[in-house]
Every structure is written in C-alpha cells, then in structure tokens.
Amino acid sequence: MLSSKEIMMLLEATGTSIYMTLASTLMAYVIGLPLGVLLVVCAPGGLKPKKILYKILDAVVNITRSIPFLILMILATPLVRLIVGKSYGANATIISLTLAAAPFVARLVESSLLEVDKGVIEAAQSMGASVWQIVTKVLIGEARVSLIVGSTIALGTVLGYTAMSGAIGGGGLGDIAIRYGYSRWVPHLLISTVVLLVILMQIIQAAGNRLSKKLDKRQSN
C-alpha cells in the first residue's frame, strides 16, 4: 500500500511530468512548425524551391534527430545552464526536451503537409494565391487532421522523454522511478510510476483521437 506521503509525492511528480510535457511540446511546435513548413516550401518542386536552404535545414533536422535523447541532454548542459542557471529540474529539462522534440515535430509537420493533394495547391496557385495564403489556408487547412494526429504522437514521445530525463535529475515521474524504484528498489513506487505514465499516455491518445475525428467529420461535411 502507498503511504499518504508517497501518494503526495507521486501526485506532485505527475504534475511535473504533465507540465514538462505540455511546455516542451508547445515550445517544440513554436520551432518545429515553421521549420516543417520551410522544409516543404523550400524543397525541390516546392512552392518556392531554395536548394541550399533546404539542404541545410534537412541536415540540421537529421543530425539532431540522430542524437539519443540522454546524450543530447548532456550535450545541451552548457546551454541549459546559460538559460536557466542550472542543469537539473523541470525548467532545465524543458530546454533539452524542446531541442530533442523540435526536429521530430518538423518531420511530422512536413509529412502532414506533403499529404495535401497537389491538385488543391495548383488550383490555389491558378487563382493567384500567394505562398503565405497557400501555406496558411490550403496546406495547414487541408492537413489539420493529420497535424492533430502528429501532435498526439509528439505529446506521447515527449512524455516518454520526460521519463528518461529522470536518469539525470530531470524531475517528474521518471525521477521517482530512478531514485526510488531503481536506486532504492521500492517496487510499489516503480510500478506506480509506470501505471501513471500509461494512464497519461492513454489520456493523450484518446484526446488526440477524439479531436482528429471531430475535425475529420467537419472537413468531410
């Protein structure tokens, strides 16, 4: 049985994990959404092809995505200390989570936008729409269901990253799992963190599925 102290500790850690997940995903989209749009617009055959810029952005995304999250956290330590003033805790971890998630989000956005029917884009171009209008009203508008599905995947991935960050003082449920479940071998706390992470993942997935279905019905009507 969990003691009242342990329950409070788990509740606080759950709140921290939710905070890190939402804040990091939001910041990742602030960076990743325009980056994904640029990858589509500047690609060969895109709305405004720019070969050199595309190759640079493509390389940056690929290189960043190839670095395992824990190693990226260690590499980002000087930057995190510069911004936050320390390299541990929730706020510090959010910086590393954002750096890890942003290129992933960029690829999700790129994939979603590439699904848009080229005929729709050509129709908008023939009507004299600008690149900005095509991006905001056609690409993002037509791909909104896919973008919601992508954001659900991103949230789930970042939640997993928050758990891993506990290995080096990231806070949240991962920290509880490492400090108590692994280092001190308190099985019921380890199991509790796993159960809570599974519940959070199910909530994220269910909310994403519901929203995407609602938008899909509106789009079909």
For residue 158, being part of any structural domain is answered with: yes
If you average pLDDT over residues 5-32, what whole number do you get? 92
Q: How much is the mean pLDDT over the chain?
A: 88
Give 125: exposed, middle or buried? Use CB within 10 Å, 0-12, 13-18, 19+.
Answer: middle
Q: Per-residue confidence at 188, pLDDT binned at 50, 70, 90?
A: confident
Q: How far is CA 107 from the centre of its chain?
A: 11
For residue 171, being part of any structural domain is answered with: yes
Q: Are 158 and 24 in contact (CB under 8 A)?
A: yes
Percent of the chain past pLDDT 90, that is, above it, reads 38
Q: Are 42 and 48 in contact (CB under 8 A)?
A: yes
- Determine the pLDDT at residue 117: 87
Judged against a pLDDT cut of 60, whether residue 168 lies above it is answered with yes
Q: Per-residue confidence at 218, pLDDT binned at 50, 70, 90?
A: low
Judged by phi (left if over 0) then psi (alpha if -120 to 50, else beta), residue 46 lies in beta
For residue 118, being part of any structural domain is answered with: no
Q: 129-141: per-residue pLDDT in tens? A: 888 888 988 898 8
For residue 183, being part of any structural domain is answered with: yes
Lowest mean pLDDT among 3-7, 20-24, 149-153, 198-202: 3-7
Owning domain of residue 164: 4-113+123-220
Q: 76-117: per-residue pLDDT in tens? A: 888 888 888 877 888 888 998 999 999 999 999 999 999 888
For residue 191, being part of any structural domain is answered with: yes
Q: Are 73 and 168 in contact (CB under 8 A)?
A: yes
Q: How many domains does the chain have?
A: 1
For residue 143, being part of any structural domain is answered with: yes
- Determine the pLDDT at residue 165: 83
- Determine the pLDDT at residue 60: 92
CATH number, domain of 96, equals 1.10.3720.10
If you average pLDDT over residues 9-14, what whole number do you get? 90
102 closest CA partner among 36, 146, 49:
36
For residue 182, being part of any structural domain is answered with: yes
DSSP string of 98-164, one letter each residue: HHHHHHHHHHHHHHHHHTS-HHHHHHHHHTT--HHHIIIIIIHHHTHHHHHHHHHHHHHHHHHHHHH
